[in-house]
Structure 1
Amino acid sequence: MQRFLLFPLLFCFYCVQAQYGSIQPPDRLYGALLTDVQMSKVFKDGKTFVDCVPKKDPKAIASGYKSLRNNPLVRYSLKGFVDDNFSEPANPASGYVSDKSEPVTNHINKLWSVLSHAPDVAVNGSSLLPLPNPYIMPGGRFREIYYWDSYFTMLGLQESGMYAMIENMINNFAFMVQQYGHIPNGNRSYFLSRSQPPFFSMMLDLLAAQYGNRVYAQYQMTLQREYNYWMDKTDARGHTVTMPDGSVLNRYYDQDNVPRQESFFEDSTLALSSKSKNIRQLYRDLRSGAESGWDFSSRWLADGQHLSTIQTTRLVPVDLNCLIYHMELTLSKAYKETGDLVQSAYYSKLAGKRKKAIMKYCWSSAQGWYVDYHIGRKRQSAEMTLAGVVPFFVKLAPEEHINRVAATLEKSFLKAGGLMTTLKNTGEQWDAPNGWAPLQWMAIEGLNNYNKKELARTVATRWAELNIKVYKSTGKLMEKYNVVDTNLEAGGGEYEAQDGFGWTNGVLLKLLKMYNLQ
């Protein structure tokens, strides 16, 4: 039996977060077993093992494996040991067969129930963090709730009139803030060290559209704790950056510096082949790239090409700071609703300061585009990505910037199937030729906010037509699409193309209704 003795040594760097109490991710529970399973590629997808449900006490499983592993006289099957001690997770849509002949809107409305997850039941040793309310999963390998995915899924739930589900999901996020001090990447123990793009305040806007501004008062304390997490006012540290002029902006910063448990093989293999002298920093940057949701993209790479040069924590992302700007404005609104005008004015002022800093550090007059800012080099990134449209999505950009940005969108990013994510094809999934539903939506909304309605319609139409074309061919809506050659599937990433798919369903349904498409 092949063993991987090198990798358990990496865990000496791991520090369990005190605020998570007794919750331990799979690497801490199973030690050498996780290392051997992941490095032996027992499962094609590394996420499978960390989502497995133990059939008995995890300590007994780990102890039993240790005895087998350390006995040279015993021959054993690693896959057999896993099968004996764990139950494999199911695909959310397994057994579901779509009818390609029916309209895509019918398909999406049927999928809501397929992708629905009942309130969780706690299982000792499972990585799933139990949630008290129902929720929508993205689909495929993603069999839990995800933070930023959920906002775009909610756009479709809104069109379907499923406000109870929207409220349930928001309450689940509020529950996680209460339990863990922040909204994790998803409700898995191995996601607790990071969050994702903070869309909670945007979710409140959706709920307030139905129930009125009392929503902001109702979730004020939750939103405040979410803000405190991002502003380093909790046990978590590293998300804030003091800029050269003393202003404060934010970055992505995972709290851990070990291989991602769900991508253990990929991260460990990259570390072995990397020339980096600081492997722990490499792991943190990979994890922080996952916190960004853009895992992975040329925007995070020092040389713009190779994942081994990832430098996520060295960059101040324009889109993250726009979302926190919206969070500050929403906090101002929430405090106004509760009658605290002093705090309301305070957060309005903070939002104004952030807006000024974003304009100073992220607007590139040379490129006519909003870009990330490199902390160490004290200059703007040269990478142009669709993150540059987010200032228009949150209505932060001045009117005079829209013409240059719209011209670049149309000339460089717009393709037959919608907008490319970046202008580089590196093989990473958040690069050309791929397009993603959340970025299409933010671009379309940003263009509409600044009266570029014709271009917005063009983007929406091309994206919707590509989605529908693939649906009519396969009966599925996908996680991402190749927008350059609409006859090819999207590629890149650490796993196979996923179908389902939460945010694609949500954005497509919203666009179909908005533009009367079918």
Structure 2
Amino acid sequence: MKILLNIEKTFRELLQQEDTDQDKKITKDDLGPKRFVLVDELTKKEEMIEGTYHLSNLLQELATLKEKGELTAEVDLDFIKEEPVQRISRKIRDDYWNELTRTIDKKGLEQILKDEKTSNDIATLYVSAKDEQGIAYFQELEKELKSFKVAILPENYTMDYVDTLNSKPGILALALEKNKSGLQGVPFVVPGGRFNEMYGWDSYFIAAGLLIDNQLDKAMAIAENFRYQIIHYGKILNANRSYYLTRTQPPLYSSLLVDIVKQKTPDLNWLRLHLETVILEYNTVWMVQGGRLTSTALNRYKADGVGMPFEVEPGHFDDVLIEYAKKYNLPVREFEKQYLNRTLVDAELDMYFVHDRSLRESGHDTTDRLINTCANLNSVDINSFLYKYEKDIAYLIKAFFNNAFLSDDLVYTSEQWEQKALFRKEKMNELCWNENAGMYFDYDFVNEKQFPFEAATTFFPLWAKLCSEEQAKQLVEIALPKFVKTGGITGSTKASSIAYSHENAPQRQWDYPFGWAPHQMLLWEGLINYNYSDKAQEMVYRWLWLITKNAVEYNGTIPEKFDLEISSHKVFAEYGNVGTEFDYIAKEGFGWVNASYQLGLQILNNSLKLELNKMTSPEDLF
């Protein structure tokens, strides 16, 4: 049913009555009557809209029409009164993915270069010296647009060279492809909010959502940009900005390939190119002794570079710098300036930042699990991911290449990769599994002992299918209850968060009480892998209830993360909460939370979907 409205008048009156805190949203915090009468301009028939959820839907529909310049238009009441689950999923599928899609080309470059993180007067686009096609294309574009400058990265740049780029930071080019009219950027999907570039592990979880929503081309495009980054920058980057050239991200490229081939049998030449690149990344990024491969034969996160990471806000490290400023009898800002300029060098502080850069490489920026220790740890997460790489490569070689795959003049068989996986599994069981705790812990290979911080990464072996049935049982029955809150699992247990927190440090966003989509998604799939179907249903419901409740009560808001102690997007931790700042319309959600919603709905049974629409509390069901 549709109703004809004066858009501007209705929009203005609705806000005046219902948006009492004037934040350009209608939420549960507003004190209006939560009842608004619509009058059809033609028939004068009245329609009552009641409740925060329906009023915020009305606001969004009116704002959309207003943006289109509509003066008088029909508003579809079915959209306003749509069930929450259907509305959220529909908007993710039909709107949010498109809103989050970017290209680095004539059409899309301006949007990226205007990003708030572009601080210099004329934005810089860095292009790899190996990308001759890209250099030619972007140099022509530079002459035409005159709004940015092209800089060419040397073919074998050093980390010292990368450090010099901090005075002129910029975007790194990604892949181009040919179309009928010439070249265009291979699309990628950004997380949302202030994150306007392609992030490493975010992209894998986003791709999982794209595949569910039948957007195979965009998922394959993410794989193309992964491949481009490995060939031209040596690794899948934390993100495609110049100051991220020193670090990679959790390896999920092989998982993306497996997900793609399970949806559609690919062109074998396409798959061959990508499998070659996965193996290249495995060998050159992860398996270099003394780098990310350690003496235990297990891996660690280990970023390059010296000093403070470029991207953090001023004052972020004051809790650390204060002590060093005292040591050198300097004011904090003066010490920071001299340290950044390297006119003052402190080896101990340099080591602190090696660990800090490495934890950012892990994607868990930040957690007390990894503060000042990350590069010393054979972490459960990285070794679970690499076990999955080894198993995936074995599977792809056997399923698509007749068990013989040629790469760099070497012939690989599935058996070789199965042996690598078996070796890693045995090493993880030897060093990381703790039978008494029923959990996996990171192994501190420097001090030769487990680091008993209870983190959600302990469930990653379930996802990778690394653990035995008995280990899975202990993880589910002993470990999992320590993490479960009403809306899902927290990044760490409360006990570990208290035990390992640092004095005067900010609240770490990847620890208790915060909940993140990747942790939930990997847990769900892990539970399903080991036939804990009922528990998977419960955990999916808890997280989807939280997203749905938040969207219903707060104008469609889908944030980066949640505080699970209060089941809210109102997070008080370092970096705030991306995805919560918008006017009138929630246009894009947040990448991996969008994906988690679509994945969760694919898993959840119909009876629980009905309960979800009723907003039934998980505590009343489980």
> TM bucket by the smaller chain?
0.7 to 0.9
Determine which of 348, 354, 358 is the counterpart of 1:288.
Answer: 358
In 2, the alpha carbon distance for the partners of 1:96 and 1:385 equals: 42
Counterpart pick for 2:434 among 364, 369, 383? 364
Q: Is the 8 A contact 2:380 2:442 kept in 1?
A: yes
1:129 corresponding residue in structure 2:
172
Change (3 A) 1:394 1:191: same
Question: Which residue in 2 is equivalent to 1:418?
Answer: 488
Task: Name which of 224, 227, 239 aligns with 2:282.
Answer: 227
Q: Where does 1:83-162 land on structure 2 (aligned, <5 Å)?
A: 102=82, 103-109=87-93, 110-120=95-105, 121=109, 122=125, 123-124=148-149, 127-131=170-174, 132=176, 133-162=186-215
Residue equivalent to 1:459? 539
Q: Which residue is equivalent to 1:491?
A: 572
Deviation at 1:101, TM superposition (A): 5.7
Query: Match of 2:401?
Result: 338
What residue ranges of structure 2 are gaps of 5+ in the alignment?
1-62, 68-78, 110-124, 126-147, 150-167, 177-185, 325-345, 406-410, 502-506, 581-588, 614-622
**Aligned-residue RMSD, C-alpha:** 2.3
Q: Which amino acid aligns with 1:229?
A: T
Which position in structure 1 is the counterpart of 2:550?
470
CA contact (8 A) 2:194 2:578 kept: no
CA gap 1:217/1:482 in 2 versus in 1, 3 angstroms:
same
CA contact (8 A) 2:300 2:382 kept: yes
Residue 355 of structure 1 pairs with residue 355 of structure 2: no
Distance 1:101 1:372, change over 3 A: farther
Identity among equivalent positions (%) equals: 28
| Partner Cα distance (1:359, 1:212) in 2 | 35
2-structure distance, mates of 1:100, 1:486: 25
CA 498–100 in structure 1, closer or farther in 2 if over 3 Å, else same? farther
SS in 1 for 2:294: strand
Within 1, Cα distance between the matches of 2:484 and 2:512? Answer: 11
Whether the 8 Å CA contact 1:185–1:195 is kept in 2: the answer is yes
Q: Which moved more, 1:121-130 or 1:320-329?
A: 121-130
Greater Cα radius of gyration, structure 1 or 2: 2
The answer to which of 205-214 and 253-262 deviates more is 205-214
| C-alpha displacement of 1:231 | 3.0
Shift of 1:487: 4.4
Cα separation, 2, equivalents of 1:409 and 1:232:
31
Classify the secondary structure of the residue corresponding to 2:171.
Answer: coil
- Offset from partner CA, 1:298-345 (integer Å, 9 cap, x none): 2114xxxxxxxx211111101110111111222223444334265222
Number of positions where the alignment pairs a residue of Structure 1 with one of Structure 2: 410
| Residue in 1 that maps onto 2:310 | 261
- Worse overlay, 355-364 or 407-416: 407-416
Superposed, which structure 2 residues align to 1:41-440 within 5 Å?
Answer: 102=82, 103-109=87-93, 110-120=95-105, 121=109, 122=125, 123-124=148-149, 127-131=170-174, 132=176, 133-212=186-265, 214=268, 216-233=271-288, 238-243=291-296, 248-263=297-312, 265-266=314-315, 269-274=318-323, 278-301=348-371, 310-336=372-398, 337-339=400-402, 340=404, 343-344=412-413, 345-424=415-494, 425=497, 426=501, 427-440=507-520
Q: Which amino acid aligns with 1:328?
A: E
Task: List alignment gaps of at least 5 residues for structure 1.
Answer: 1-94, 302-309
TM-score, normalisation: structure 2: 0.62
Query: For residues 251-288 of structure 1, what are the alpha-carbon distances to aligned partners after superposition, in whole Å with 9 as ceiling and x for unaligned?
Result: 00011122111116346535422458611111111111
**Take 1:328 and 1:411, find their aligned partners in 2: how far apart are those partners?**
30
Q: Normalising to structure 1: TM-score of the pair?
A: 0.75
Structure 2 matches for 1:13-32, cutoff 5 A?
A: none
Distance 1:258 1:486 in 2: 37
CA distance in 2, matches of 1:221, 1:212: 18
**Bigger strand fraction:** 2
With over 3 angstroms needed to count, the CA separation of the structure-2 counterparts of 1:101 and 1:176, relative to structure 1, is: farther
Deviations along 1:8-42, whole A, 9 cap, x unmatched? xxxxxxxxxxxxxxxxxxxxxxxxxxxxxxxxxxx
Distance 1:162 1:239, change over 3 A: same
575, 584, 591: which is aligned to 1:502?
591
Instruction: Indicate the residue corresponding to 2:180 in structure 1.
Output: none
CA contact under 8 A between 2:193 and 2:579: conserved in structure 1? Answer: yes
Tell me, in whole angstroms, the C-alpha distance in 2 between the residues paired with 1:171 and 1:488: 33
The one-letter code matched in structure 1 to 2:286 is M
